[in-house]
Amino acid sequence: MWSHAQLAAASDAVAAALGQAGVRGGDRVLIVGENCAALLALLFGVAQRDAWAVIVNARLSAREIDAVAEHCNPRRMLFLADISAEAAAHAQRQVADELLEIPGIGRASMSARNEQCLPEPVHDDPALQVAALIYTSGTTGDPKGVMLTHRNLLFIARLSSALRKLQPRDRVYGVLPISHVYGLASVSLGTLFGGASLVLEPRFSAAGMLAALTEGGVTMLQGVPSMYAKLVDLIEAGGVAVDTSRLRACFVGGAPLDPELKARVEKVLGVTLHNGYGLTEASPTISHTRLNAPRTDCAVGSVLPGVEIRIVDVRDPARREAAAGEPGELWVRGPNVMRGYYRNPAATARVIDAQGWLDTGDLARRDADGTLFIVGRTKELIIRSGFNVYPPEVEAVLNSYPGVTHSAVVGRAVPGNEEVVAFVELKPGTVATPADIAAYLRSRLAPYKQPAEIRVLPSLPVAANGKVLKHRLAGIATQRHSAGE
């Protein structure tokens, strides 16, 4: 267990060691690892050098890590080889044979100095100085480096701490990867900002999360829907009530939440499951429900203080706002909006306009009281026979089937139309056929929303942060359809 003071001292030592290793302000430093105190010490040490931390999960493939390194051209690469076997393998492949000591915590393997690395300008203004470069594939699978500034991250850290009402006695479960912005800004930085304890876990397992609840004294959980689904499956399968008396709050984000899962989590854990919404380009949080205003629906709550939103009519080329209560494309502006995509000004210009509004690519509607609901993604919207089909709606009904843990719905182009394809993952020990599930849906969805095909998979493909990789599923649906399967 590490105190805040010990972490600060280790970060100071890392900063000094990085200076001796030739790291300058504006350099990129690529860090390959998994959740642990050493990763935070490296992150803070890089920031003290005015360098950019490029954090990637060790579970990425060699191809994926090499693509990030080629794009950002780091001065040094650090690998937490003593903590992660995957990081050790990447270190060996990169011939990272120098060592960087992290006093009291461990050490990192370090690659040779890259003399071809040119530093970016250093800014005194925290709104301009980049702190972290987070690579995201979004819905297309095309990775882009999101430049998040010190202001971006600290704005979210401060609000995350305040809106969760963190106290020093809180123990927050940190299993969401720090290499993803939810785990970095909201969970890790927000918890430390609030003076609470951060219980870091390198990889998710339902058993590990349950142990943290029952034995580790965790008072607050943050996760994605698939994590909560697997936790509740495990608890329900045991048939024994668990002691969650120390748990005072749960938050979910990163993917759509359906009413069935929300109800199950709240019944089993005995606390409200608070929903939120964000994206990497917004550091990530845009809205979430408040502790003093729990909701029974799956709204993503109120917009954060200091953040503005617009809901734009997608059919209007002038981008005028949609009628009150009607769905439209969500645009956001505020201190949380990224500086841009690294070395990709064209992509930046496509999503951030001259007035600083970020096009989230998500479809939303807003109630009269300002409560925000996410209804889907612009790129994932399925137009079936002229009707709009929002995947989260279909997924919510699929997830209400007694044997389904979670699901994902994608569109597939067919001549002159588009059809709905559903992928589902079943609870352990459940037997259900696509025909069983299709029969269940017939009375619960309009005909144009019915999946043309349902595929049962042993598990849905997910990223390290638990989000379903829909672009992979869309590719599977298209390939198998083309092959006539």
Cα-flanking dihedrals φ and ψ of residue 437, to 5°? Answer: -70, -40
Contacts of 72 (CB under 8 A, 6+ apart): 28, 30, 52, 54, 133, 145, 342
Question: For the domain that residue 17 is a member of, what is the CATH number?
Answer: 3.40.50.980
- Name the helix (H) or strand (E) containing 226: helix 225-238
Residue 436 pLDDT greater than 60, yes or no: yes
386 plus 363 within the same structural domain: no
Angle at 242 between CA 241 and CA 248, to 5 degrees: 125
Q: How far apart are the C-alpha atoms of 81 and 67, rounded to whole Å?
A: 20
Angle at 71 between CA 66 and CA 76, to 5 degrees: 70
Question: For the domain that residue 445 is a member of, what is the CATH number?
Answer: 3.30.300.30
162 plus 206 within the same structural domain: yes
Domain holding 16, by residue range, is 4-122
- The two beta strands, 98-102 and 106-110, are antiparallel
Rg, C-alpha atoms of the chain: 22
372 plus 400 within the same structural domain: no
Domain boundary (316, 345, 377) is at 377
pLDDT at residue 388, rounded to an integer: 77
Tokens of 473: 């599923």
Q: How far apart are the C-alpha atoms of 60 and 184, rounded to whole Å?
A: 17
Mean pLDDT of 170-178: 96
339 plus 389 within the same structural domain: no
The pLDDT mean for the chain works out to: 93
Domain boundary (377, 407, 429) is at 377
Q: How far apart are the C-alpha atoms of 442 and 454, rounded to whole Å?
A: 13
Residue 35 pLDDT greater than 60, yes or no: yes
pLDDT-derived band at 140 (thresholds 50, 70, 90) equals very low
Question: pTM for this one?
Answer: 0.85
Q: How far apart are the C-alpha atoms of 138 and 115, rounded to whole Å?
A: 32
329 plus 210 within the same structural domain: yes
Q: How far apart are the C-alpha atoms of 448 and 33, rounded to whole Å?
A: 45
315 plus 406 within the same structural domain: no
100 plus 211 within the same structural domain: no
In a domain, 369, yes or no: yes
Among 2-6, 17-21, 23-27, 465-469, name the one with the lowest average pLDDT: 465-469
Domain boundary (361, 377, 393) is at 377
- Name the helix (H) or strand (E) containing 76: strand 76-79
pLDDT in tens, 450-468: 999 999 999 999 888 888 8
Among 189-193, 252-256, 420-424, name the one with the lowest average pLDDT: 252-256
pLDDT in tens, 373-413: 998 888 788 888 777 788 888 999 999 999 999 999 999 98
pLDDT at residue 485, rounded to an integer: 52
pLDDT at residue 138, rounded to an integer: 46
Q: How far apart are the C-alpha atoms of 292 and 382, rounded to whole Å?
A: 36
Q: How far apart are the C-alpha atoms of 217 and 172, rounded to whole Å?
A: 9
Q: Which residue is it, tokens 């500034």?
A: 149
pLDDT at residue 383, rounded to an integer: 82
pLDDT at residue 219, rounded to an integer: 98
pLDDT at residue 381, rounded to an integer: 81
270 plus 195 within the same structural domain: yes
Tokens of 175: 């299993």
Count Cβ atoms within 10 A of the Cβ of residue 474 and give its class: 0-12 exposed, 13-18 middle, 19 or more buried. Answer: buried
Mean pLDDT of 51-62: 94
| 319 or 41, higher pLDDT | 41
Residue 21 pLDDT greater than 60, yes or no: yes
102 plus 70 within the same structural domain: yes
320 plus 425 within the same structural domain: no
Q: How many angstroms from the chain centroid is the CA of residue 360?
A: 14
Residue 172 pLDDT greater than 70, yes or no: yes
In a domain, 139, yes or no: no
Question: For the domain that residue 181 is a member of, what is the CATH number?
Answer: 3.40.50.12780
* Total domains in the fold of the chain: 3
| Percent with pLDDT over 90 in the chain | 78
pLDDT at residue 139, rounded to an integer: 38
Tokens of 77: 């690469």
192 plus 328 within the same structural domain: yes
Distances in whole angstroms, Cα of residue 301 to Cα of each of 6, 213, 251, 332, 375: 37, 26, 12, 15, 13
In a domain, 128, yes or no: no
pLDDT at residue 104, rounded to an integer: 85
243 plus 263 within the same structural domain: yes
Cβ count within 10 A of residue 170 = 22
- The two beta strands, 249-252 and 52-57, are unpaired
Mean pLDDT of 265-277: 96
pLDDT at residue 1, rounded to an integer: 82
